[in-house]
Chain A
Amino acid sequence: MDLALELRGLKVSFRTCLGEVKAVDGISLSVSRGEIIGLVGESGCGKSVTALAIAGLLPQNAEVMAGEIVIGGRNLRKMTQQELRLLRLHELAMVFQDPTTYLNPVLTIGSQITEILLEDPQLFSREKRAIRLEEIEMEEKTSASADLLVERDLLRALADRRKLSGRDARMLAEVRVLEVLRMVRLPYPERILKMYPHELSGGMKQRAMIAMALVRRPTLILADEITTALDMTVQAQVLALLKELKTEIDSSIILITHDLGVVAKVCDRVAVMYAGNIVELAGVKELFRNPLHPYTMGLLAAIPRADAEKVGLRSIPGSVPDLVNPPSGCRYHPRCPQAFARCSEVKPMLTEARPGHWVACFLFQEKI
């Protein structure tokens, strides 16, 4: 499977007392295996809602109104709750913004990660264990980390047991958890297993959450503003970690953020969202070199930069639209300096204005 995820025309709405909030208005996106794609936008643009919709974790008052979400050839909208849950267990992981509130304060870090592995009894079945042993033995030839060797020995010792007892399963799970804690460069992982979230600093907690995502070797990781709540130097460490991990794992990552700096450093491709639509989609270097959509250009002109002083920040006039009664046609047209008549009548679709560079704007479309 070359594509980790495919979104086709996804629409999500919220039922509120003020009416139907059309938070996501028909977005389409493909994510390839192993790529990091940034989903960038300001508050209310629908980027977090998109992630929750993909994971099947929308709140009670929200609903996917239309569109398809395809992972590994399966359409998530046609799945039962049980199937979605298993998907989250094995293939789809989320990392959230604030590690202080997203980690359970009364459980140890270790138990919060091992519980993922222990949730599926099939994971430690004889067949799966044999497969894993083969995997390790192959990997041994190229690199042999201490953890892998421990796991290999343990698997060999347990090879003839048909079903693992609780204790054995926990031991095996812990070895895997230690591996993944080392992967996120946490020091003294054995101690961290027994520690509680409040005993760790913000950066360490966030790495623990990333470890939780990685432990199941997922196809896709949804990272929702994972550095926003961290201090600057800690954010830098997490970004460096993501960059290093890219070479070590083959999960795809959708990195949701409002910070264009983060996107520039870590992502391969970027999708810019505004008021529930993707307005621009391109490779990261292409996007920053040649921003096409007026909103993207407005954003880039509005952000101050730490490496140079700008002669005046250009702001975007107006504010984000009301999503209960969004503007007709292109949702950006009321604030767009280059809007013309058509913009308020018809909604522009994403078209390929340059190779690999898609824009939803009539400025770049053939007149029909």
Chain B
Amino acid sequence: MPLRPNSQSGGAGLLKLHEYLLRRLLLTIFVLLAISVITFSITRGLLPPATALTGYLRLGETDQTKLSIAQAVGVATKSCPSFSAFLNSQKGCVVPLWDQYFYWLVDVSKGDWGYSNLPPTAATAPTLTIFAERFPYTLQLAMASAALTILVGFFLGIISATRANRVPDHLSRLSAIVGYSIPAFWFGFILQIAVVLYLAVRGFPLLPVSGALGTGCALCVANPGQIGTYTTIPLFDSLLSGNLAYFWDTLLAMILPAITLSIVPIAILSRILRSSMIEALSQDYILLARSKGLRDWVVIYRHALRNAILPAITACGLIFASFLGGVVVVEYVFTYPGIGAAALAASRNLDINFLELDVLVSALIIVVANLIVDVLYVYLDPRIRY
């Protein structure tokens, strides 16, 4: 009797993996282009062209300088005679929106994202440089928060599911509800106050309450020294440089922001995991697993969790993506130098170059996170075929 793979599952493997990835890649490019068009239109199209410049102009600059800045930003044509002509939207002076977009696309493909006006650097620093300076901080905070979220979220979710409707479950669910009802900024402030006022040792707060490197706290090392640049991520660079003091201080500085950032995702993750675990535990294959004489924890982790993990993975992917997008509030409260706080400043300062870059990077992160999750699904659930 020949062994044929069961083709009843709608054609096992309709798409090869590379075909699928190619299709997703095409979609990604399309999505990014669409987002860039929308962002571009909003920042430069809806407002009068002069408004787009506001962020880049300083008081007391001559009209000539202003005109050259306008041309550098790409809103005024080279042939424009004067700045006032530009302000009056004189014909031939304002670059049409589509042309602006096209030139912008060309520049971006060369890696030129224009200039940003964010502090602390001077008024004309390349956007990409500023972004690249700040992104590693967000990245390490995201990783720390993700680790915390996954550890605590899974733990609470599994406890809830395996002791459903008993005390541990009720406690866990209660904390989940409290968790996503808390406004992040309030919780951040409360933590800061608690650590500074109450958890203080010899006049120093126990943990750092702001910044990415804690040097003035009770547990900190005062002068951690320098580190080399390998990955640009301080957390890893300090380890690679062998500077454990620096590593420790960096880690401490992330504790409070990571906790604040994780509160809501932990609640979400534990609830998702709870319900998918309960569903998995009620399946028939669990009865068979128990009838085989397997130990309880084997049944829970090998049989139930492997099935329950799938919805949780999707949630984790999106959660990590949102961390990476730079959580503005938390970075602001803790003065953490990541791209979230930068984005906030940029929108205040009408730094449209930075905003465009930030929006596109966030979109890219989410799309890639989704793609990774989908591919991971194929490995975790052998039934899935695209």
Contact = CB atoms under 8 A, between A and B. Distances in A.
B288 interface: yes
Q: How large is the interface on B (under 10, 10 to 19, 20 to 34, 35 or more residues)?
A: 20 to 34
B307 interface: yes
B284 A107 contact: no
A209 B9 contact: no
Contact of A93 (B291, B306, B383): B291
A187 B1 contact: yes
A115 B288 contact: no
B44 interface: no
A119 interface: yes
A115 B292 contact: yes
Given A89-B292, A116-B292, A212-B292, A103 B285 contact: yes
Given A57-B291, A86-B293, A105-B307, A96 B382 contact: no
B289 interface: yes
Contacts of A103: 285, 288
Contact of A209 (B288, B306, B382): B288
A103 B5 CA distance: 17
B285 A104 contact: yes
Among B5, B287, B288, B293, the one with the most A-chain Cβ atoms within 10 Å of its Cβ is B293
Contacts of A201: 6, 8
B23 interface: no
Contacts of B197: none
Interface in B262-297: 283-285, 287-295
Contacts of A191: 3
Contact of A115 (B6, B283, B285, B298): B298
Contact of A98 (B284, B292, B298): B284
A11 to B, nearest CB: 22
Interface in A13-71: 55, 57
Given A90-B293, A106-B381, A116-B292, A199 B12 contact: yes
Interface range, A side: 20 to 34
B303 interface: yes
A198 B382 contact: yes
B382 A105 contact: yes
Contacts, number: 88
Contacts of A94: 288, 291
Contacts of B3: 187-188, 191-192
A199 B381 CA distance: 13
Contacts of B295: 85, 119
- For A85, A116, A192, which residue has the most chain B Cβ atoms within 10 angstroms? A85
Chain A CB within 10 Å, residue with most, of B6, B290, B383: B6
Nearest to B304: A104
B285 A119 contact: no
A106 B380 contact: yes
B291 A55 contact: yes
Contacts of B163: none
Contacts of B291: 55, 57, 88, 93-94
A104 B307 contact: yes
21 contacts: A87-B293, A88-B290, A88-B293, A89-B294, A96-B287, A101-B285, A102-B284, A103-B288, A104-B289, A104-B303, A104-B306, A105-B285, A105-B383, A107-B303, A115-B298, A187-B2, A187-B3, A188-B3, A192-B3, A201-B6, A209-B288
The 9 closest A-B pairs by CB, nearest first: A89-B293, A88-B293, A101-B284, A94-B291, A196-B382, A104-B285, A102-B284, A102-B288, A188-B3
Given A101-B285, A196-B382, A199-B6, 8 more contacts: A57-B287, A89-B293, A93-B291, A115-B298, A187-B3, A195-B5, A199-B5, A200-B6
